[in-house]
Amino acid sequence: MKRYSSRSFVALCIALAMCQKAAAFSNIPPKIKIHSRISMTATEIPMFGSNEGLPSHSSMNLDLPDRTQPTVSKSRASFIVSLVSSNQIMPNLQCLFLRLQSIMRSSSKGAAVAIRQSWWCFPMIVVSALPIYSLLFLQEFARMPSFWQFRDVSYLKDMPVLVSGFLASNIFYILSGLYLMDCIPNRSKKSSHTARTPLLGVMVFASGMVSLLYHAFQSFGGLNVAESLCFIDHGVAFSSACYFLRKCGMPSIKTLSIGVPSLLLLAFPGDSYPVIHSIWHAMSAGTTISWAFDGVDRRQRFISKTLQARKDITI
């Protein structure tokens, strides 16, 4: 009976262990199976009397996957290829361009509608922003132009009766605004029609409150603040006139007969500025009511003409 040397026996044990390990790996499920193939021929096992050592590196065939290399699936690779291809990029860019063009067109239309509907408030915004701009960026208070100078009536603080009447004249704006909003009981039904456009009364009421604040600083000192408030007062007044023009149309002869003389009093107050300006407050407040009634009359005439035209068509 042949006997194996110790070195041959060790080589045989190693080969058997590798075969058992390969058999164990072959039982792993297919999804996580690690392919490993270990092969050794019978002639490579050292026999009795052989002085050869352990199996060499060339006698063992280890086929293990390289885990350091990233694997890319076919679907991901095809997605990258399709994304890079011009056939996919050009339609996407064209779709993006069309969307941006649609957004710009909608924005321009919206801006045009906003300007057409709200142009009347631009004087208030622009003129009221002048003192804020001057104070923040020029580090000084805004000044009225030379052709429309600011009036210093700080001497009125020593005349309580005159200053009280001067400030109390702003009540005409407040009452006119409340009347146009139908907040004051009256027998006339026209105020109920003007209340359908509440911003008419709101603008007149706001003009009165700003005017009261402006003239209070003008009379009791703080001339820099008063001159800044003068810009805001003029801005609110300009926007109020523009809003009346938009909603009520051109003023009638009756309204102009009140409004034009009041504007002359505003432009040429003379030496009696507190008295003349107080009269301007009363007349301009009455002008707003007359102008609002012009809008009501114009609307009623339009409705009656429309109804008459429909009757003529039916006949």
pLDDT value at position 32? 41
Domain boundaries, the chain: 6-59, 115-314
Write the pLDDT tens digit of every residue in 13-69: 677 766 665 555 555 444 444 444 444 444 444 444 444 444 444 444 444 444 444
pLDDT category of residue 144 using cuts at 50, 70 and 90: very high
Per-residue pLDDT at 140 exceeds 80: yes
pLDDT of residue 110: 86
pTM of this structure: 0.67
pLDDT at 237: 95
Task: Look at residue 49 in the predicted model and tell me its pLDDT.
Answer: 44
Stretch 71-78: mean pLDDT: 54
Backbone angles phi, psi at 8, to 5 degrees: -65, -35
Across the chain, mean pLDDT equals 80
What is the rounded CA–CA span in Å between residue 181 and residue 203?
10
d(CA 234, CA 228): 10
Inter-residue contact 195 to 182 (CB < 8 Å): yes
Q: Look at 15 and 214; give whichever has higher pLDDT.
A: 214
Cα(90)–Cα(41) distance, rounded to whole angstroms?
Answer: 61
- For residues 51 and 7, give the distance between their C-alpha atoms in angstroms, rounded to a whole number: 8
- Please answer whether residues 65 and 39 qualify as being in contact, where contact means their C-beta atoms are separated by less than 8 angstroms: no
The amino acid occupying position 272 is S
Q: Which long-range contacts (CB under 8 A, 24 or more apart) does 289-293 make?
A: 289/176, 289/179, 289/180, 290/251, 290/252, 290/254, 290/255, 290/258, 290/259, 291/244, 291/248, 291/251, 291/255, 291/259, 292/180, 292/190, 292/194, 292/200, 292/244, 292/248, 293/190, 293/194
Does residue 313 or residue 26 have the better pLDDT? Answer: 313
Q: 301-307 — which CB contacts under 8 Å span 24+ positions?
A: none
d(CA 175, CA 160): 23
The mean-pLDDT minimum among 10-19, 160-169, 173-182 falls in 10-19
Read off the pLDDT of residues 243-298 as tens digits, 9 standing for 90 and up.
999 999 999 999 999 999 999 999 988 889 999 999 999 999 999 999 999 999 99
Q: Tell me how many degrees the CA angle 254-266-140 measures, rounded to the nearest 5.
A: 140
Amino acid in the structure at residue 201:
G
Answer for the pair 120, 243: CB distance below 8 angstroms, yes or no. yes
CA separation for the pair 170, 156 (Å, rounded):
16
